[in-house]
Amino acid sequence: MRVKIGQSGVGGNNESWYYLEFAEEEAKFYHVHEWNNMSFSLSVNEGEERTPLEQSKGKRFYEEAIKAIKIGIFSGVS
């Protein structure tokens, strides 16, 4: 299961999307960065980096991932 936590450069030459992913079979969270970059020569570089959340501190949109987890866990708790 993935939740979008951010994006940058969408609509331009260097697009990036960021997700919080929960791997249920592992019971583990991941920080996922997908990119699609086009150079001036029109060659495309695209890929995905999937990093365990506990090793992702300092990565872009990390704080949003933590916030999404807190909202999911504590919504409806008084």
Tens of pLDDT along 30-69?
999 999 987 666 677 889 999 999 999 999 999 999 999 9
Among residues 62, 54, 63, the alpha carbon closest in space to that of 27 is found at: 54
Count of structural domains, the chain? 1
Q: Residue 11 has what pLDDT? A: 78
C-alpha–C-alpha distance, residues 4 and 65, integer Å: 9
Which range of residues forms the domain containing residue 30? 2-74
pTM equals 0.85
Indicate the burial class of 20 (C-beta count within 10 angstroms; 0-12, 13-18, 19 or more): buried
- CATH number, domain of 25, equals 3.10.450
